[in-house]
Amino acid sequence: MSQLWMPTPNGMSRRHFATHLAGSAAMASTALSFGGAIAANADELRKNRKSAILLWMGGGPSTIDLWDLKPGAATGGPFRPISSSGEAQISEHLPLVAQQMHHLSVVRSMSTREADHNRGRYYMHTGYVPNPNIEHPGYGSVVAHELFEQRPELQIPPFVSVGGASVGPGFLGMAWAPFSVSSNGRIRNLDMRLDDTRLMQRVAALDLIESNFVKRTRSGPAAAGSPAGEHQKVLRKTLDLMTSDQMKAFKVEQEPDEVKERYGTSGFGQGCLLARRLVEAGVPFIEVDLGGWDNHSGIFDILVDRKLPELDQAMSALVEDLAQRELLQDTAVIWMGEFGRTPRINQGAGRDHWARSWSVVAGGAGLKGGLAIGETSRDGTEVETEPYSSEDLMATVCKGLGISLDTTYTSKNGRPMKIAGGGKVIRELLA
């Protein structure tokens, strides 16, 4: 038997080394292919590189108390509107965000149909209603999939979900799944403490067992998409990430104290800061989750005491910071939850689920800031201008990111599916 092992040159990037592995036959060439470590010109690559940050408000935020206030109406609640740096008046409890509203637009005419958490979360993340026969990819997976090609230097997952689970990759496959991390950016089990050569040799043995199993359970070209084949792809991505210098993007703690304080010490604040770092590292899609908006009772106290201060500080810091670093023009920021909340205030001083008339906020990357788009009725129960959907919002964001709306996927069962569910662009929002 010939000697197949080659030592890895020390300090050399092992980018994609796993990708070149395909059973023991490839072992000889493996080490050699490491030689071409990518010496990318960072500035060149960064030019025109688009990203998106989704601020996901799990539970369904009360947009009538944040972005589309109804002072004087029975449904209006106790909050007063204040002027912002854009045309929208917003809640008095978002004073810092108010100063950034020239960067962001409020879309007040969202009208959707899914008022159950799971269905709403799925719909707002995919542009499709849940269907038992097909799993649609989340927007994060879609954007990552479309923008990944622009960044050959990216070694970390193209879709990172901070402090939440987001929605899965559906038929795009597990290789496009959100990489879930906690908001402090700490990643468990990253370090193997094993020298490179031995790690590679272990992986070669693993790869052989994997390939043998794929061959035994599935024949033909479909093998790669089978659960066994998907597993192989995820292992490769994992190896890329374990061996990448780019992982330092997750080290939020290395930021200067004043920056950390500007974003706030809350989980969401640190998550937003992490999102900015990931944008700088070239990650195309980041979702940052802030849960706890499902306020069926005692809503106004919860909003004033907890939710709005946390949101105000982190969201304003993120937008301001992105703008100051000249990243905002290439980074879409979207704020939304699965639905809004009932204009009617219930017996427990809460608001329940409401999808018929509510607001989202968006800006950055080819989207106009400073606008208030659409209108609801005096008590907030009806949209009075053209209603917009999840698909429409996503189509607009895609357009802003330079992703063609003619992009069509074919699901595993051969059904063609237009990107963003075939939504129509919200014209006013496009720059």
Between residue 61 and residue 100, which ones bind another protein under the rule CB under 8 A? none
Q: How far apart are the first and last CA of the chain?
A: 64
> Looking at beta carbons only, is 77 or 178 nearer to another protein?
178
> Looking at beta carbons only, is 194 or 259 nearer to another protein?
194
Q: What are the start-end ranges of the E strands in 118-168?
A: 159-162
Q: Is 168 helix (H, G, I), strand (E, B) or coil?
A: coil
User: If binding is defined by CB under 8 A, does position 28 make contact with another protein?
Assistant: no
* Nearest-approach distance from CB 27 to another protein, in angstroms: 8
Beta bridge partners of 286: 53, 160
* Nearest-approach distance from CB 176 to another protein, in angstroms: 10
User: If binding is defined by CB under 8 A, does position 220 make contact with another protein?
Assistant: yes
* Nearest-approach distance from CB 219 to another protein, in angstroms: 6
Q: What does the DSSP 8-state code read for residue 131?
A: B
* Nearest-approach distance from CB 157 to another protein, in angstroms: 6
Tokens describing residue 276: 């900015």
> Looking at beta carbons only, is 83 or 118 nearer to another protein?
118
User: If binding is defined by CB under 8 A, does position 117 make contact with another protein?
Assistant: yes
Of residues 40 through 59, those in contact with another protein by CB under 8 A are 58-59
Q: Is 71 helix (H, G, I), strand (E, B) or coil?
A: coil
* Nearest-approach distance from CB 226 to another protein, in angstroms: 7
Q: How far apart, in whole angstroms, are the C-alpha atoms of residue 405 and residue 268?
A: 32
* Nearest-approach distance from CB 168 to another protein, in angstroms: 7
> Looking at beta carbons only, is 58 or 421 nearer to another protein?
58
CB 275 within 8 A of CB 288: yes
Q: How many CA atoms lie within 13 A of 147 on its CB side?
A: 31
User: If binding is defined by CB under 8 A, does position 387 make contact with another protein?
Assistant: no
Long-range pairs for 417-422 at CB < 8 Å and ≥24 separation?
A: 417/136, 419/142, 419/146, 419/395, 420/127, 420/139, 420/142, 420/391, 420/394, 420/395, 421/126, 421/127, 421/128, 421/390, 421/391, 421/394, 422/391, 422/395
Tokens describing residue 335: 């704020």
CB 111 within 8 A of CB 83: no
> Looking at beta carbons only, is 34 or 401 nearer to another protein?
34
Q: How far apart, in whole angstroms, are the C-alpha atoms of residue 352 and residue 73?
A: 18
Neighbours of 323 (CB within 10 A): 18
> Looking at beta carbons only, is 115 or 393 nearer to another protein?
115
User: If binding is defined by CB under 8 A, does position 378 make contact with another protein?
Assistant: no
CB 385 within 8 A of CB 375: yes
Of residues 409 through 428, those in contact with another protein by CB under 8 A are 411-413
User: If binding is defined by CB under 8 A, does position 247 make contact with another protein?
Assistant: no
* Nearest-approach distance from CB 87 to another protein, in angstroms: 31
Q: How far apart, in whole angstroms, are the C-alpha atoms of residue 84 and residue 92?
A: 10
* Nearest-approach distance from CB 31 to another protein, in angstroms: 12
- 68-101 burial, b if ≥16 CB within 10 A, otherwise e? bbbeeeebbbebebeebebebbbbebbebbbebb
* Nearest-approach distance from CB 177 to another protein, in angstroms: 4
User: If binding is defined by CB under 8 A, does position 431 make contact with another protein?
Assistant: no
> Looking at beta carbons only, is 149 or 191 nearer to another protein?
191
Tell which one of 22, 26, 96, 134 touches another protein (CB under 8 A).
134
* Nearest-approach distance from CB 328 to another protein, in angstroms: 26
Q: At 257, which helix (H) or strand (E)?
A: helix 257-263
Tell which one of 138, 157, 369, 423 touches another protein (CB under 8 A).
157
Calculate the alpha carbon distances from 67 to 77, 227, 374, 377, 392 in Å.
13, 44, 12, 14, 19
Query: Site mask, another protein, residues 328-367, x = CB under 8 A?
Result: ----------------x---x---xx--------------
Q: How far apart, in whole angstroms, are the C-alpha atoms of residue 160 and residue 166?
A: 9
> Looking at beta carbons only, is 67 or 122 nearer to another protein?
122
Please count the residues of this chain forming the interface with another protein, following the rule CB under 8 A: 83
User: If binding is defined by CB under 8 A, does position 230 make contact with another protein?
Assistant: yes
> Looking at beta carbons only, is 207 or 330 nearer to another protein?
207
Tell which one of 218, 260, 418, 424 touches another protein (CB under 8 A).
218
* Nearest-approach distance from CB 273 to another protein, in angstroms: 19
User: If binding is defined by CB under 8 A, does position 221 make contact with another protein?
Assistant: no
Tell which one of 11, 35, 72, 132 touches another protein (CB under 8 A).
132
